[in-house]
Amino acid sequence: MRYAICLAALLFGTVSISSAQQKIFLEENGRILIEVEAIDLVSPWQVWTENHADNEDYIGDGYVCAADDPDQGQSGGSPTGLLRYPIKVSQDMTMKFMIRGMNGPAAIGCEEGDWCNDLHCWMENYPGTWGSPGKTMIKTAQWNWAGNREHGSPRIGTFDLKAGQVYTFVVACRSKLAMIDRIAFFTGSRKDNKEPGGALDITQPNTPIEMNGSVHTAEEVRRMERTRIHPGFLVKKNAPTGYYLANGTKVHNPASSLVGKGVIIKVLGESTPSRMLNLDAE
């Protein structure tokens, strides 16, 4: 059965929490865990839902791919598509950084070898090597954790953070079709944090998020953004035709098994206040 829902008729009696509100990702128990798609994305980044790895799945609703930049090559470029993640710790601490990602595979147009796998990562207004853009490498065509600079010292991303101060960590595109899934900051060693229950254990939940002075669990924020309008979808007035996640993020190359299952919708028709949504799988 095909369902068409008029957005304007659903606006009454609902609570709206905009994903555009600034989020500060908070430290809890010596770690900060962030889904890359938890902020509003900018080009060339897109949310993808088809898993191209055979070792593990992505975390959360999808992962992010640098898919929409015709000027960016498969390797080596200046930073484009700056994604900014404000973070804050509860006490002074030294934290290491890693990012979960993978090379873009040949199946989507990448050459074999050291291609489609580089990022620029840095902490804005931070002294030293990690205070400016630099090449951070993701080495394999499987989901894995990376966090080393190719050049400079220290190569490992390590930050001395002060309690209560908001820092902004930036991830930017360096090569097209690189894929990223989660950002992790943590105390202790990388080895220890790869153990079950550690910060690099992908079963661990994302850490709390502060919005407008209120602190919420990451799952609460996800639910608030998903349930702004029954049955959980909100698409901006001028959004183009295409597939969208519940929080209004446009999805490139959605997995067909998710369309019409309450996870992804297809937006139809003209961009009007009473936008119609097709919730059926095609």
Which residue reads 């799952």 in tokens? Answer: 219
Q: Confidence band (pLDDT; 50, 70, 90) for 241?
A: low
Contacts of 68 (CB under 8 A, 6+ apart): 43, 44, 45, 46, 252
The helix or strand, by DSSP H or E, that contains position 35, with its residue range, turns out to be strand 31-35
Q: Is the pLDDT of residue 24 over 80?
A: yes
In the predicted model, what is the mean pLDDT of residues 52-74? 73
The answer to whether the beta carbons of residues 181 and 100 sit under 8 Å apart is: yes
DSSP 38: G
Which helix (H) or strand (E) segment is 218 a member of?
helix 218-226
Query: Does the pLDDT of residue 246 top 90, yes or no?
Result: no
State the average pLDDT for the chain: 75
Burial class of residue 171, CB neighbours in 10 A (0-12, 13-18, 19+): buried
Q: Which of 71-80, 139-148, 266-275 has the highest mean pLDDT?
A: 139-148
Q: What pLDDT digit, counting tens, does each position of 128-172 carry?
A: 889 998 888 777 778 889 888 877 667 889 999 999 999 999 999
Model pLDDT for residues 184-218, shown as the tens digit of each residue: 999 999 999 999 999 999 999 999 999 988 999 99
Please confirm whether the linkage preceding 127 is cis (ω < 30° from 0): no
